[in-house]
């Protein structure tokens, strides 16, 4: 069945609609902002001590709103430093949104933006081909390791770019979230072999532990209203199901058995809870902070 179902990412316009609906229905960006404002500053104050220019990179930065939140906190901790900010993002639409956001946001004169329209693997190949020895003080990879073929190798490469006191921030959905339960149950049916869509922080931590690489971990509480998923034919519900399963038009293309199984699982306490008649999905995230 996994081979018969197309991935949602194959249809970018539908993926974008589903992603925007996900952000509307979830508290994901809010919990990230809480982390950025309350926890990240203590991490950022340990990087780039005394440097006049800080090198920062966002990998899979999307439209840039979370990037700018991070850069604001970095400036608060290092007010005298200029920032060289590299953006790695394969979507031209997202890069356009990022550039528009930068253009209309005040207080960014101390930042130089370099936009790289490429995937993480393309960036890695280009970087190695050009034999660049530049190091970074802070790199963040937020909700993007699902879309690389080898998450562990990707983490290793970007970690190798860190300055001696640099930090690498990874954010993924928690293995203890509803996503984790969904993937553990239906990995074979939902996860494409060519894209590691079902990676969780647990997978990355297993790799880090095996390599003896230290890290800090933080859990971010998040939730998503998926009530419409259980109304047959509901347009928003079907978009959310596509996003949850990463299967293009899941309701139409999944087998009746798979569809019934997924919907039943999504209602279980391991995935969701009922609040005032609404089905609220556990969308918890986990952050990992790595040193060189």
CB-based burial, 193-218: b 16+ in 10 Å, e otherwise: eeebbbbbbebbbeebeeeebebeeb
Between CA 277 and CA 282 the distance in angstroms is 16
Residues in the annotated binding site for substrate? 28, 283
CB neighbours of residue 70 within 10 Å = 22
User: What's the token pair of residue 70?
Assistant: 């991070």
Residues in the annotated binding site? 28, 283
Between CA 162 and CA 156 the distance in angstroms is 10
CB-based contacts of 102: which residues, under 8 Å, 6+ apart? 64, 68, 108, 113
Parallel, antiparallel, or unpaired for β 53-59 and 136-142? parallel
């Amino acid at each position: 069945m996994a081979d018969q179902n197309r991935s949602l990412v194959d249809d970018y316009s539908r993926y974008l609609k589903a992603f925007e609906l996900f952000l509307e229905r979830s508290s994901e960006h809010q919990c990230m902002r809480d982390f950025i404002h309350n926890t990240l500053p203590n991490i950022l104050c340990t990087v780039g001590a005394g440097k006049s220019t800080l090198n920062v990179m966002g990998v899979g930065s999307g439209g840039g709103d979370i990037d700018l939140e991070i850069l604001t906190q970095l400036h608060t901790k290092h007010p005298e430093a200029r920032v060289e900010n590299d953006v790695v993002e394969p979507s031209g639409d997202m890069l356009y949104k990022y550039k528009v956001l930068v253009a209309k946001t005040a207080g960014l004169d101390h930042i130089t933006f370099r936009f790289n329209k490429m995937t993480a693997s393309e960036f890695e190949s280009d970087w190695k081909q050009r034999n660049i020895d530049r190091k970074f003080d802070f790199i963040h990879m937020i909700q993007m390791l699902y879309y690389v073929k080898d998450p562990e190798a990707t983490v290793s490469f970007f970690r190798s770019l860190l300055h001696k006191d640099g930090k690498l921030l990874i954010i993924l959905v928690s293995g203890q979230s509803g996503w984790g339960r969904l993937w553990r149950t239906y990995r074979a049916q939902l996860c494409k072999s060519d894209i590691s869509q079902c990676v969780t922080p647990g997978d990355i931590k297993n790799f880090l532990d095996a390599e003896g690489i230290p890290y800090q971990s933080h859990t971010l509480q998040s939730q998503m209203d998926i009530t419409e998923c259980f109304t047959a034919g509901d347009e928003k519900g079907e978009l959310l199901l596509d996003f949850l399963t990463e299967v293009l038009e899941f309701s139409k293309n999944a087998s009746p058995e798979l569809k019934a199984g997924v919907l039943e699982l999504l209602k279980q306490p391991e995935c969701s809870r009922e609040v005032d008649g609404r089905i609220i999905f556990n969308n918890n995230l986990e952050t990992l902070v790595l040193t060189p």
